[in-house]
Structure 1
Amino acid sequence: MKQIYINAFKFVLIVLPFALVAGISLANYEIGTGVITQEILSQVSKTTIISSITIQTVLYAAICGFIGYLLADKIGLLRSFAWSGSYFKKALAGGAICGILFFVLDYLIFAKLLVPVAEYYETYTFSIYYLLAKVLYGGMVEELLMRWFLMSLLIMILWKIFDRKADKESIPAWIMVVSNIVIAVLFALGHLPATIVMFGHLSFLIVTRCILLNGSFGLVFGRLYRKYGIQYAMVAHAVTHIVCDVLFFLFCRL
């Protein structure tokens, strides 16, 4: 077996425990907050629901982790997994700035314009399950899916279509930038179903909120992946959620 496949498998083994905790946390949060209704719970046991969501999460992490590893190697974005202090600080700073901006935009602006947003924060309660889900599912599983797998795949497709003669170290910067933008937009659009559930309908302002809050910060995570490595995109994504939750808690409950 080629060494690259062995390394990809080892990578998957490292991320799976985190994916397991992410899946369990996400399932418990959705049950506890009523996202999974009592009607569903009356038909399907809590254990079955938790198991299903956890298995799905683990499969996402395993498949995207393995294939993403191979793709990142193919396009020259497989960076060293040794932690760099300077890169780590940049990821922390990027995540903190994104978290603050998210808070300012949503709590201080959109909550004034959209009643359901204001109502959400009026009833906001801290949940360890939700925080773990956002940090581990958002910070790790979503990054494996969106940046490690999908962004890498799009980069490779565009590279093969527009500049196949270039080697992987010379892939044009515009391909990296376009791929980052497209994946960030797709990530934002993927939140539209949850947005519809929250608001009951879509409007220009609601869609703008969805794309701005979920897509713009993805550009930061994509750049960190491209420049420094997927682990720094994960750190920034996780820190964004942590900073957001801390600010929400301070302003909503203290």
Structure 2
Amino acid sequence: MGKMKRNDLKISILLAVICFIGGFLVLPYQLDAMQQTLPHQYEQLIETMPVPMILLQLITAIQLTVMAFIVAFLGIKIARKVGFSLDILDALFTKTKVSFETRWVVRAFIFGAISAFVIVGADRFYYQNKISGISDIEPEFSLIGLIAGVFYGGVFEELLMRLFVMSLLIWLVKILFYRGKSELPSLFYWMAIIIAALLFAIGHLPATDAIFGGVTTDLMIRSLILNGIAGIFCGYLFWKKGIEYAILSHMFAHISLQLIMIPLFY
């Protein structure tokens, strides 16, 4: 038991350190996006910035690292209680030999590519003709966006929404309604997957409001679709194979978004 606690601590520290990279780059990435979509607000923000950018990046990175550690540590504890797999992360700090399963890695990559296609394709082929302002936004390849997406989106968001939120939802169902029973019906896992995906999508509505000056029904549906589809895929992978596969899929969604979908459609 003591060894397991130490492993949980080590895994949490590793994941938090990885999130430091995403935290350091997420601010300049957000500012780059703001410069493209809200140039006047961007200029005002830069002019009134109270401290140098590098200091703000460090502060953001440290805050995210602390949050990532807490979310990871609690999420790991809860995930173990409800039976979610952490085999690959565990193997990093034990003598156990565990490797990724090729067929599930392929699925994770396919899910990531589909998610990226939906994000770009929905705007390119549908919403730019339906929602004013979207046709004025032309995504471009961003190296900072790629790295921040891989480490912030791919790792931190999966720790928060899948490892912590999904595990917590399943744990609550178990202790409230299925105490003492070994297995939950699949329905509850799907409910947890959808709730976590919806919460993630709803979390993007403030950014949508800032960009478009309000949130209409079309914009709300757009946000739910564009940000929810990847959450459903990642939730399914977390349920069936473990958080490592969800992280892989989310990372590849950002990779394929920047390297394939944006150059292909723009």
TM-score by length of 1: 0.91
Displacement of 1:116: 2.2
Report the secondary structure of 1:135's partner residue. Answer: helix
RMSD: 1.7
Q: Is 1:15 matched with 2:21?
A: no
Q: Is 1:112 matched with 2:123?
A: no
Q: Is 1:249 matched with 2:263?
A: yes
Q: Is 1:103 matched with 2:110?
A: no
- Equivalent-residue separation in structure 2 for 1:31 and 1:191 (angstroms): 16
- Equivalent-residue separation in structure 2 for 1:237 and 1:175 (angstroms): 23
1:191·1:210 contact (CA, 8 Å) conserved in 2? yes
Counterpart position of 2:198: 185
Counterpart position of 1:138: 153
Displacement of 1:52: 1.8
Displacement of 1:32: 4.1
Counterpart position of 1:63: 70
Moved segments of 4+, more than 3 Å: 31-36
Counterparts in 2 of 1:87 and 1:12: CA distance versus 1, 3 Å: same
**Where does the alignment leave 5 or more consecutive residues of structure 1 unmatched?**
none
Q: 1:51 aligns with which of 33, 50, 58?
A: 58
- Equivalent-residue separation in structure 2 for 1:240 and 1:34 (angstroms): 21
Q: Deviations over 1:160-214 (max 9, x none)?
A: 11111213xx122222111111111111100011110111101110000001111
TM-score by length of 2: 0.87
- Code of the residue aligned with 1:229 in structure 2: it is G
Counterpart position of 2:231: 218
1:4·1:70 contact (CA, 8 Å) conserved in 2? no
**Where does the alignment leave 5 or more consecutive residues of structure 2 unmatched?**
36-41, 89-97
Q: Is 1:88 matched with 2:101?
A: no
- Code of the residue aligned with 1:63 in structure 2: it is I
Counterpart position of 1:152: 167
- Equivalent-residue separation in structure 1 for 2:16 and 2:196 (angstroms): 23
1:60·1:145 contact (CA, 8 Å) conserved in 2? no
Spell out the pairing of 1:203-242 with structure 2 (5 A cutoff): 203-242=216-255
Displacement of 1:72: 0.8
- Equivalent-residue separation in structure 2 for 1:57 and 1:79 (angstroms): 22
Aligned residues: 247
2:27·2:57 contact (CA, 8 Å) conserved in 1? yes
Q: Deviations over 1:57-94 (max 9, x none)?
A: 21222111111111110000034213222221111111
- Equivalent-residue separation in structure 2 for 1:225 and 1:195 (angstroms): 28
1:136·1:238 contact (CA, 8 Å) conserved in 2? yes
1:159·1:175 contact (CA, 8 Å) conserved in 2? no
- Equivalent-residue separation in structure 2 for 1:102 and 1:139 (angstroms): 15
2:109·2:252 contact (CA, 8 Å) conserved in 1? yes
Q: Deviations over 1:210-243 (max 9, x none)?
A: 0111112211100000001101111111111222
- Equivalent-residue separation in structure 1 for 2:18 and 2:210 (angstroms): 28
Same amino acid, percent of matched pairs: 30
Q: Is 1:24 matched with 2:38?
A: no
Counterpart position of 2:46: 38
Displacement of 1:24: 1.2
Report the secondary structure of 1:164's partner residue. Answer: coil
Counterpart position of 1:176: 189
- Equivalent-residue separation in structure 1 for 2:150 and 2:13 (angstroms): 19
